[in-house]
Amino acid sequence: MNEQQAHGENVRRSAEKVGASLGGLAPRIALVLGSGLGGLAARVEQPTTIAYGDLPGFPVLTVAGHAGTLIVGKLGGVPVIILNGRKHFYETSDPYPLKTMIRTLKAVGVEKLFLSNAAGSLRAHIKVSELMLITDHINFLGLNPLVGPNDDAFGPRFVPVTDAWDRDLGAKVKAAARQVGVPLHEGVYVAFRGPSFETPAEIRMAQGWGGDAVGMSSVPECLIARHCGLRVTGVSCITNMGAGLSEEKLSHAHTLENAARGAAGFEKLVMAAVGLM
């Protein structure tokens, strides 16, 4: 079996396991919880939890703040699947763990994917602990998870990403924000590979490119999801100003601390958004 066939087999077996745990639910929405945003997992009603270790091809996680569990249940009465934790491209250049996760969602009937992440702000009006709807992205990872032989079973070789971040889903997230009174900015997410944070010069570059926030995730998930026909929306939780834009010292602990500070608004927003999506 070559790598691609092994991947297909992993997706099939993982989908079988997740499918068997749905217990009559038919979730059309899945959420990926970003760094420090895992608290939402505790809000899932009637949860069934599967450790990534029990799902063939799912990643083995190593970063603090990322749990590594798939949770099936309901959020505010709406059936959902939650991916609590993911592997970043600063940990590996192997796209298969991420592909397995997203394609397993597709295989069990998910249609819409809500991504989330912790991010640095590039704009003075987008402040720490606030939220930003991602309306578009710039892939500065130096990697695209779809490089390599195309998996025709999942999607086409060339994927248009004019609408990578779905306008209608985004409008629903904005409506949800208004409904629950959570301020929500919108803007362009620039993905750097990390794991080092950016230099002030890189932050100025990203500003010049039209970016509004920087982070190290979500873009690969979005591309894999669009390839297999999932609609995507997502929110960044701003945990710091980009390097050089303030006096604060950047660290992962700082990211987790400030993500926790923004988490209450994030959870409120997501609970309302899934009801409208």
List contacts with ligand HPA (CB under 6 A).
118-120, 192, 197-198, 214-216, 239-240, 242, 250, 255
Distance between CA 269 and CA 7 in Å, rounded? 34
For ligand HPA, the closer CB: 119 or 173: 119
Annotated catalytic residue within 14, 30, 84, 88: 88
Residue 120's H or E segment, with its range, is strand 112-121
Distance between CA 212 and CA 194 in Å, rounded? 17
SS3 276: helix
For ligand HPA, the closer CB: 104 or 239: 239
Question: With contact defined as beta carbons under 8 Å apart, do 238 and 184 qualify?
Answer: no
SS3 133: strand
By beta carbon distance, the residue nearest ligand HPA is 120
For ligand HPA, the closer CB: 25 or 128: 128
- CB 3, min distance to ligand HPA, A: 29
For ligand HPA, the closer CB: 75 or 122: 122
- CB 115, min distance to ligand HPA, A: 14
Q: Is 7 a catalytic residue?
A: no
- CB 105, min distance to ligand HPA, A: 24
Q: Is 217 a catalytic residue?
A: yes
Q: Are strands 213-215 and 112-121 parallel, antiparallel or unpaired?
A: antiparallel
Q: Is 84 a catalytic residue?
A: no
Q: Is 118 a catalytic residue?
A: yes
For ligand HPA, the closer CB: 14 or 117: 117
261 CB-contact burial (10 Å; exposed 0-12 / middle 13-18 / buried 19+)? middle
Compute the half-sphere exposure of residue 39: CA atoms within 13 Å on the CB side of its CA: 16
Annotated catalytic residue within 117, 240, 258, 263: 240
Q: Is 137 a catalytic residue?
A: no
For ligand HPA, the closer CB: 94 or 248: 248
- CB 252, min distance to ligand HPA, A: 8
Annotated catalytic residue within 10, 117, 217, 218: 217
Q: Is 240 a catalytic residue?
A: yes
Long-range pairs, 145-154, Cβ under 8 A, ≥24:
145/95, 145/98, 145/99, 145/220, 145/223, 145/224, 146/95, 146/223, 146/224, 146/227, 147/95, 148/95, 149/4, 151/4, 151/7, 151/8, 151/99, 153/8, 154/99, 154/103, 154/106, 154/227, 154/228
Annotated catalytic residue within 35, 84, 116, 258: 35
- CB 200, min distance to ligand HPA, A: 11
Annotated catalytic residue within 16, 67, 90, 144: 90
Residue 20's H or E segment, with its range, is helix 3-20
- CB 248, min distance to ligand HPA, A: 10
**Catalytic positions, please?**
35, 66, 88, 90-91, 118, 216-217, 240, 252
